[in-house]
Structure 1
Amino acid sequence: MKILSITTATNHLNVALNDGDKIVEKNEEDHRNHSEHLDPLITELLKENNLTLKDIDRFAVAEGPGSYTGLRIGITTAKMFASILNKDLVGVSTLAALANGVNDGVIVSELDARNKNFFAGVYRKVNGKLENLVPDGHYHLDDLINKIKELGLPEEVVFVGSPIDKYQDEIEDLLGSDNFKQAAGDNQIHAGEIGKLALNKKAIDPDKMVPKYLRRTQAEIDWHNKTGKAFGPDSDYVEEV
């Protein structure tokens, strides 16, 4: 099965072609304007592998958490391809994709959300398959470390994603141990890992896929405060502000 995977969740733009055990990736670092660079990168990847979009069996995309604008760019692109070509579409957790590149220990997949808050999930590899120990969510550092401690697991804790350098001492104090480290490698989200996880995941109707932000935008909060209406799964607050 040929899977074209996309991640625009962070400033690291990455696309990949998974075909069996073969994975080919292309990326652009530190570009914020993914809307201009995503399509040319996909075109380049397909051309170098003598393929067209019609040759792709399944499209996969990082569904969140991540940059609000970035997620919408990647998801909209993947939805469009799948819908027009009548192909499978699969959404994969950004945090699961990060964790899938790590093989040992208790894996804390995290993206710094500022002010000691993180988008994070805790995982572990069991017989090569990813197991979710703490659900993906928006956690303060204290809460995240407490959830790790509650697991009571003896393995080393491996953080993958945003650098934890400035929190080293605090994490050690909260964890009560120095048995943790930052994952080796670039700690970036790789579309190839999205493709691996998407292989056996159930496809979704493109019209029903929405980003999984894991946190309300400020605009949504302002809309809720102004209107008093309950939050919806993908509310129309923008039209009413």
Structure 2
Amino acid sequence: MIILLDTSTATCFLTVVDDETRQDFEWQAGRTLARGLLKFLEEKTGDLHDISGIGVMRGPGSFTGLRIGLTVANTLADSLNIPIVGAMGEDWRETALGKLRVGENEKIVMPEYGAAAHITAPRK
């Protein structure tokens, strides 16, 4: 099974592609993304060990959402020794799926925030 994950907004989107079937899920993660993402993935996939590839939305989007989502996806891909690819744009799912089907593996996907992160200077 291949999973396609988008954590660029407060709503987390997951597409599970198994053979020719495709299921779409969404979860209003809000501020619980870090705490609940793995549980959400386990509930929707059944067994994380059945995942054979991961496609992720690289951005642009929420700094924290992308950071958390891509960290989880990169870690899963590494620990399960499966390919991971990233894509952007409205057709990111089809692009990622195409990359995975031809055997691409980016090993680590970095986020694209769309702008520089707004980081405040320390007060001291």
TM-score range normalised by the length of the shorter chain: 0.7 to 0.9
Equivalence for 2:97: 199
CA distance in 2, matches of 1:3, 1:211: 20
Equivalence for 2:56: 61
Note the alpha carbon deviations across 1:22-77, whole angstroms, 9 max, x for none: 11122113623211221111111122xxxx22221101111111000000111001
Distance 1:217 1:16, change over 3 A: same
Query: Of 52, 66, 71, which aligns to 1:71?
Result: 66
| CA RMSD, 1 decimal | 2.2
CA distance in 2, matches of 1:217, 1:198: 25
Q: Which runs of 5+ in 1 are unaligned?
A: 101-192, 224-237
Percent of residue pairs identical = 28
Higher relative contact order (CA 8 A, sep 6+): 2
Note the alpha carbon deviations across 1:98-151, whole angstroms, 9 max, x for none: x23xxxxxxxxxxxxxxxxxxxxxxxxxxxxxxxxxxxxxxxxxxxxxxxxxxx
Structure 1 stretches of 4+ moved >3 Å:
none
Distance 1:31 1:203, change over 3 A: same
TM-score, normalisation: structure 2? 0.83
Give the structure with the larger strand fraction: 1
Q: Is the 8 A contact 1:15 1:27 kept in 2?
A: yes
Equivalence for 2:114: 214
Q: Does 1:87 align with 2:82?
A: yes
Q: Partner letter of residue 75 of structure 1? A: L
Matches within 5 A, 1:177-196: 194=93, 196=94
Q: Is the 8 A contact 2:10 2:30 kept in 1?
A: yes
Number of residue pairs the alignment of both structures matches: 119
Note the alpha carbon deviations across 1:186-221, whole angstroms, 9 max, x for none: xxxxxxx62x32122232022xx21111211122xx
CA distance in 2, matches of 1:59, 1:45: 14
Equivalence for 2:18: 19
User: In structure 1, the residue corresponding to 2:31 is in which secondary structure?
Assistant: coil
Greater Cα shift, 20-29 or 52-61: 20-29
Q: Which runs of 5+ in 2 are unaligned?
A: none
Q: Partner letter of residue 64 of structure 1? A: G
User: In structure 2, the residue corresponding to 1:214 is in which secondary structure?
Assistant: coil
CA distance in 1, matches of 2:24, 2:34: 18
CA distance in 2, matches of 1:44, 1:25: 13
Q: Is the 8 A contact 1:62 1:74 kept in 2?
A: no
